[in-house]
Structure 1
Amino acid sequence: MNAEVKTELAVLLRQGVVWRGSSAGRASAAVITSGFPSLDEQTGGGWPRGALSEIFSPQGLGFSLLLPLLAELSRQQQWLTWVNPPHVPYAPALEARQVNIARVLLVKVRDTEQSLWAAEQALRSGNCSLVLLWVERVSATRIRRLQLAAEESNCMGILFRPLQQRQQASMAALRLQITPAGDGL
């Protein structure tokens, strides 16, 4: 990370605009490692538990960041719920990455409103360790509802959104912008 970016990040951290995991006082048990040391370093240890995270990317990039998390959480007895994924998950590829596909629950609905309702219900249920949701547009109010539902049941929620939506206000605990790079993301 270059000095200019570090300076800008430091200013945002001081203003309280950016959450930085454990530096905000969260216990290490409140995160699950991402499986990527450089990402864990930037997020204070990994993905926040009991919280909503957002991933902004062009055309759904960034899903590969979740594979270690999916493998870890699929060892538990709770569901990994996917609400309206853009593609049907390819089971052999997930199994090759040690994801127990017997713990994966797919929810396909017709529209955004139904997607948001299904994700909120899954987050609140207490039967899921992770809820993944893909939507094009969502209001700040609905993001807050998803965040509160995740907190109530200590479930992780990850909302995939188009890159152009990243300027919208959000109550998500973690927001990541993913762009392609020459050697990865």
Structure 2
Amino acid sequence: MYPGVGGIMLWRGSQLAAGGTRVIPCGNDAMASELPGGGWPVGALTDLLVQQAGCGELRLMRPALALSDARPVILIQPPHRLQLSAFGWWGMTGKNLTVLRATSTADALWSAEQVLRAGTCAVLVFWQSHARPEALRRLHLAAQTAETLFVMVRPLAAAADSSPAPLRLALRSARGGVNVEFVKRRGPRRDEPLFVPLTPSPILNQNRHAIVDRSPPPVAVPRSIPADVVL
């Protein structure tokens, strides 16, 4: 950002956007230097495009989740059963953690929009394989009305689709962490991935990369706020 004519602030494409960007610290200096504003954006849709669900997306967001312990953290459609003790190991009580499950994509999208419009939660993480462009636009608009870190976790294949998200990151598993590719950001293009080390949890299944297990989750009644399952 730099002063323009008449006091208007202008942004150059060769610079990372900074002024006016509301963020939550990401907890990694190298990654912070590559993110507009130096952290996870608040009040906008962020795309995390993963090689496979559970490759480290929650551990990547661990600092932001830990900072949000005083306000609700809502997880919609997580692909595996979450280990509450892992969040305790992170220093979170889990009292503010809510899991929402829906029986259809439409209900899951509706729930995410209602959570955002309520504007009461600190972090909303939503795992979703398929979402139409108009649904993404609705969610992005709803996110702009709230002080919420809103992250959608979607497959890597979605990187080829358009998205209103100002920040889109692709995550690939790597030994000791993840490789983060900057698919889209407000700033210069970065072609090389950034390796971000992730601290393993002592309770992890050694054959997995996420703080989850594979037990089938309980089926919940959709369109219910607060959640049908509270961890």
Q: Same fold (TM over 0.5)?
A: yes
Q: Does 1:36 align with 2:28?
A: yes
When structure 1 is superposed on structure 2, of 173-182 and 107-116 the one drifting more is 173-182
Q: Does 1:121 align with 2:120?
A: no
Which residue does 2:167 correspond to in 1? 174
Which residue does 2:133 correspond to in 1? 140
Q: CA deviation at 1:69?
A: 0.7
Give the distance between the partners of 1:135 and 1:20, measured in 2 at CA: 28
| Structure with max Cα Rg | 2
Q: CA deviation at 1:98?
A: 1.3
Q: Which has the higher strand share?
A: 2
Give the distance between the partners of 1:38 and 1:125, measured in 2 at CA: 33
RMSD of aligned Cα (Å): 1.7
Q: CA deviation at 1:36?
A: 1.1
Q: Does the 8 Å contact 1:84/1:107 carry over to 2?
A: yes
Letter in 2 for 1:115: A
Q: CA deviation at 1:181?
A: 2.4
Give the distance between the partners of 1:99 and 1:158, measured in 2 at CA: 19
Q: Which has the higher helix share?
A: 1
- Structure 1: unaligned runs, 5 residues or longer: 1-12
Q: Does the 8 Å contact 1:21/1:48 carry over to 2?
A: no
* Length-normalised TM-score, structure 1: 0.83
Can you list the C-alpha shifts for 1:25-55, whole angstroms capped at 9, x where unaligned? 334xx11110111111110311001111110
Kindly tell me the number of residue pairs found equivalent between the two proteins: 164
Once the two structures are superposed, the pairs formed by residues 62-73 of structure 1 within 5 Å of their partners are: 62-73=57-68
SS in 1 for 2:13: helix
Which residue does 2:177 correspond to in 1? 184
Give the distance between the partners of 1:53 and 1:46, measured in 2 at CA: 12
Q: Which runs of 4+ in 1 moved over 4 A?
A: none
Letter in 2 for 1:26: G
